[in-house]
């Protein structure tokens, strides 16, 4: 029995897996096209696989995950793969998986381990929260995690995961506020730096000639529109809404 088709893939490659009727290998790949438009045919099962580099293979993940789908009698799943480090924010395969979930018709997302999915605990909680909101189960085959409503243990696992993620967010917020307080005590100015007084004078002078038109004034003195708006808001608060 042959394994998953071994072919180099780039980040975001979508592999559809429609094996022939007489094939016993659910992982036989029909075709591999990079960044093509997503299949409009609804597939209730999405398999998401990720490795850290393009040189690595997903065979070990794929065989276990696809066997899991096969044993349960599910139709051949849509397979999405990424080759990206865990902390990478650029994961086309993950983005397309979420887009497919949002389009509807997906019942379960199957992956090898939780760390294949999220960049961090907080990011993972966001993904799981969206799946839960759309009644899509998350299944991690190597960890026994199944968040479907028919699985009370999975619901408990989900609750624990969300609670830990909320705790992590609270800790991050607390650390950020503490660092800001230390910075204030050291006399550091927080927020945007003040505008140079010469820039302010140029903006106000241009306003007298061009009127209260943000883009015209910005072009005239080669400043950003946001800087012009800040000056108008501070020095001309009662002059009405600025125009474009």
Q: Read off φ and ψ for residue 41, nearest 5 degrees.
A: -70, 125
In this prediction, residue 86 carries a pLDDT of: 58
**Which residues are catalytic, by number?**
52
Q: Which of 64, 48, 12, 58 is nearest to 33 (CA)?
A: 12
Which pTM does this prediction carry? 0.54
- Distance CA(217)–CA(225), nearest Å, equals 8
Which burial class, exposed, middle or buried, applies to 229 when counting CB atoms under 10 A from its CB (0-12, 13-18, 19+)? Answer: middle
165-205 tens-digit pLDDT:
777 778 888 888 888 888 888 888 777 777 788 888 888 88
In this prediction, residue 66 carries a pLDDT of: 92
What residue ranges of the chain have pLDDT lower than 70? Answer: 1-42, 55, 86-89, 238-244
- Distance CA(125)–CA(165), nearest Å, equals 6
């Amino acid at each position: 029995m042959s394994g998953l088709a071994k072919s180099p893939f780039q980040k975001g490659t979508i592999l559809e897996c429609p094996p022939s009727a007489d094939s016993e290998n659910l992982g036989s790949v029909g075709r591999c096209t990079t960044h093509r438009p997503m299949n409009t045919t609804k597939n209730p099962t999405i398999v998401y696989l990720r490795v850290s580099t393009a040189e690595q293979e997903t065979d070990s993940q794929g065989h276990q995950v696809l066997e899991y789908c096969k044993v349960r009698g599910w139709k051949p799943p849509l397979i999405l793969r990424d080759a990206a480090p865990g902390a990478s924010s650029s994961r086309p395969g993950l983005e397309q998986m979420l887009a497919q979930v949002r389009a509807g018709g997906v019942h379960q997302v199957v992956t090898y381990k939780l760390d294949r999915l999220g960049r961090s605990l907080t990011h993972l909680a966001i993904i799981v929260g969206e799946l839960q909101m759309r009644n899509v189960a998350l299944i991690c085959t190597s960890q026994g995690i199944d968040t479907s409503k028919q699985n009370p243990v999975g619901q408990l696992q989900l609750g624990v995961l969300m609670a830990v993620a909320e705790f992590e967010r609270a800790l991050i917020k607390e650390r950020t506020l503490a660092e800001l307080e230390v910075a204030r005590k050291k006399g550091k100015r927080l927020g945007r730096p003040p505008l140079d007084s010469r820039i302010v004078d140029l903006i106000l002078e241009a306003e007298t000639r061009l009127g209260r038109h943000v883009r015209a004034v910005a072009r005239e003195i080669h400043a950003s529109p946001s800087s012009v708006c800040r000056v108008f808001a501070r020095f001309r608060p009662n002059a009405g809404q600025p125009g474009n």
